[in-house]
Amino acid sequence: SGLVHVKNPHLDSMEEDVLYHLDLGTKTHNLPAMFGDVKFVCVGGSPNRMRAFAQFMHKELGLAGDGEDLADICAGTDRYAMYRAGPVLSISHGMGIPSISIMLHELIKLLHHAKCRDVTIIRIGTSGGLGIESGSIVITDMAVDSSFKPRFEQVVLDDVVVRSTELDRDLAEELLTCSKEIPDLPTLIGHTMCTYDFYEGQGRLDGALCSFSSEKKLDYLKRAYDAGVRNIEMESTAFAALCRLCGLRGES
């Protein structure tokens, strides 16, 4: 049917579903009227970047006005920022798995309550490249953890739940094809490694703590490259797992 799925039987018994961190709710807002025709959702870490992206899409889509006065739909909270340009929703997710996970739970419920169909969701943002030209665009075919495995491990109560992190390969190929229309934009498909930390977790030597040598760092990064990793960031495994489970066509 193309609908966005939620896999939580408890939602059916709730009088109202409050999307607390988005400052939206099923009783306080008419979500189908506000979002029912959304077809694309682009998410990224920074509120300012996502506002700039929404303004860019406003111009590219030829919408009325100059886009400078786009309103933050989540203005009632300082957790996330959300903007709309026609069928494109642009929303920030902060840094790291905990932040993007909270946003995605509420975004997916929003799309479900709004009865959106055939939604494509794309995470855009900066990352650390591995063995590639500076400024390259990496289209993720598979998000992997720090052991280079395509999995997202999460502790639920006292159980360790493991979920698959494969993304939509057809969408990756479509994006790669589109990139060829833009000159001087080196683009490739590769694995994206997701870490829980910006410093030690990504092999950086300049954090407040560093428990490894530069030689061990280089050996680890070489093994990551040999495993197919081409960039490193902090959200992709959670993003891929939630999109896959809820029937969203996703890419990072």
Question: H or E segment at 221?
Answer: helix 214-226
Q: What is the DSSP letter of 248?
A: -
187 is in an annotated binding site: no
230 is in an annotated binding site: no
Q: How far apart are CA 104 and CA 156, in angstroms?
A: 17
125 is in an annotated binding site: yes
Q: How far apart are CA 66 and CA 56, in angstroms?
A: 10
**CB count, 10 Å around CB of 34?**
14
Measure CA 112 to chain center: 17
Which two structure tokens, joined as six digits, stand for 158? 């006292």
189 is in an annotated binding site: no
DSSP annotation string for 1-30: --BPP---GGGGG-S--EEGGGTEETTTS-
Give every CB contact of residue 45 below 8 A, 6+ residues apart in sequence. 92, 93, 94, 95, 125, 126, 235
165 is in an annotated binding site: no
Q: Output the known binding site for phosphate.
A: 79, 123-126
Q: Output the known binding site for substrate.
A: 202, 204
Q: Output the known binding site.
A: 79, 123-126, 202, 204
